[in-house]
Amino acid sequence: MESIGVLMMCPMNSYLEQELDKRFKLFRFWNFPQTQNQQSFLKENSNSIRAVVGNSLVGADTELIESLPKLEIVASFSVGLDKIDLKKCKQKGIRVTSTPDVLTEDVADLAIGLILAVLRRICECDRFVRNGLWKIGDFKLTTKFTGKSVGIIGLGRIGTAIAKRAEAFDCPISYYTRSEKKDTNYKYYSNVIDLASHCQILVVACALTPETHHIVNREVIDALGPKGVLINIGRGPHVDEAELVSALVEGRLGGAGLDVFENEPEVPEELFGLDNVVLLPHVGSGTIETRTAMADLVLGNLEAHFLNKPLLTPVV
């Protein structure tokens, strides 16, 4: 397989990079940061590239797919597929794989971590101790998590894992999905505004599609209200970030725990001064164990494809 060209779009995992380098002819796209360099690189090598490895930041858009005539497979180091032109892949018979299941627990764990961090002000408490303020007085009282009502947008693998964890905190669970799920007793709302007005903590856990872009807009934020908390472990563009920022600044929303942003790695600076907000650098799946399992899935899918075996986690 050493002669098969694999294009890795950006640095994502050093173990994956090493293994790809060992097994295939690896091209690192980030070595060509300028559009002009990228174009000449593609012109020179497009005929030898048969696979693309992308992630949540850089995938395979229409332009890239069009410029790689020998492309057979896009193996994404992510469960989210919003950076891949799936329609184009289908049209051209290009296979697509993702990394589901292996990251579900980590992302759900982090969602609960964010809820606790926001309600119990864990990060603010830490800053309080480090800044020597404990000697001056006690930390203010915070908000209890156990028993709070949790609304979840998207009840797929990750949403369900979050619900299961929140159930252990005695939280009543409700959810929004396009159509009601038959196999659950959680309360269903057929629109997000209703969900937001009936829960205290709203968690975004759905896939990013044109339909779910800005699914959390001003109306949803206002329905959640000044005591409500928004948790986003999905994708930044699920939330109208400008609306979120103004709601938080104006005190129209109680707090937010955010692992994802509209323009990563850019984070609105207005949020930096707010103690009711916890900001994470998109680390939902970011444990050694999970990222290794994700890398093994990418490698396994590529090997299966080039050995004409069934893909491990096919999407298309």
Residues annotated as part of the active site: 235, 264, 282
- Beta strand 150-153 pairing with 173-176: parallel
Q: Of 73-81, 85-93, 123-131, 154-162, which segment contacts ligand 8YV by CB under 6 A?
A: 73-81
Q: Which of 6, 8, 9, 12 binds ligand 8YV (CB under 6 A)?
A: 12
Question: Cα dist. 89→7, 171, 247, 307, 311 in Å?
Answer: 16, 41, 39, 20, 16
Identify whether the C-beta of residue 160 lies closer than 8 Å to the C-beta of residue 186: no
The nearer residue to ligand 8YV, 243 or 259, going by C-beta atoms, is 259
Nearest distance in Å: CB 107, ligand 8YV: 7
Contacts of 282 (CB under 8 A, 6+ apart): 56, 259, 260, 261, 264, 265
Sign of the C-alpha dihedral, residues 293, 296, 298, 304?
Answer: negative
Sign of the C-alpha dihedral, residues 191, 195, 201, 206?
Answer: negative
Q: Of 157-165, 177-185, 241-249, 277-285, which segment contacts ligand 8YV by CB under 6 A?
A: 277-285
Q: For the chain, percent helix, then strand, then coil, each to nearest 5?
A: 40, 15, 45
User: What does the alpha-carbon distance between residue 10 and residue 31 come to, in Å, rounded to a whole number?
Assistant: 9
Q: Which of 16, 56, 89, 176 binds ligand 8YV (CB under 6 A)?
A: 56
User: With CB under 6 A, what is the number of residues at the site for ligand 8YV?
Assistant: 11
How many Å is the Cα radius of gyration of the chain? 21
Nearest distance in Å: CB 10, ligand 8YV: 8
Q: Which of 26, 42, 52, 55 binds ligand 8YV (CB under 6 A)?
A: 55
The nearer residue to ligand 8YV, 119 or 260, going by C-beta atoms, is 260
The total of other beta-carbon atoms located within 10 Å of residue 255's CB is 24
Is residue 79 part of the contact set for ligand 8YV (CB under 6 A)? yes
The nearer residue to ligand 8YV, 101 or 126, going by C-beta atoms, is 101
Query: What are the φ and ψ backbone dihedral angles of 256, each rounded to 5 degrees?
Result: -150, 145
Q: Which of 59, 80, 236, 254 binds ligand 8YV (CB under 6 A)?
A: 80
The nearer residue to ligand 8YV, 172 or 286, going by C-beta atoms, is 286
Is residue 232 part of the contact set for ligand 8YV (CB under 6 A)? no
Is residue 301 part of the contact set for ligand 8YV (CB under 6 A)? no
The total of other beta-carbon atoms located within 10 Å of residue 216's CB is 24
Nearest distance in Å: CB 285, ligand 8YV: 3
Instruction: Tell me the residue number closest to ligand 8YV, measured at CB.
Output: 80
Both tokens assigned to 179: 């159509």
Q: What does the binding site for ligand 8YV look like in residue numbers (CB under 6 A)?
A: 12, 55-56, 77-80, 103, 282, 284-285
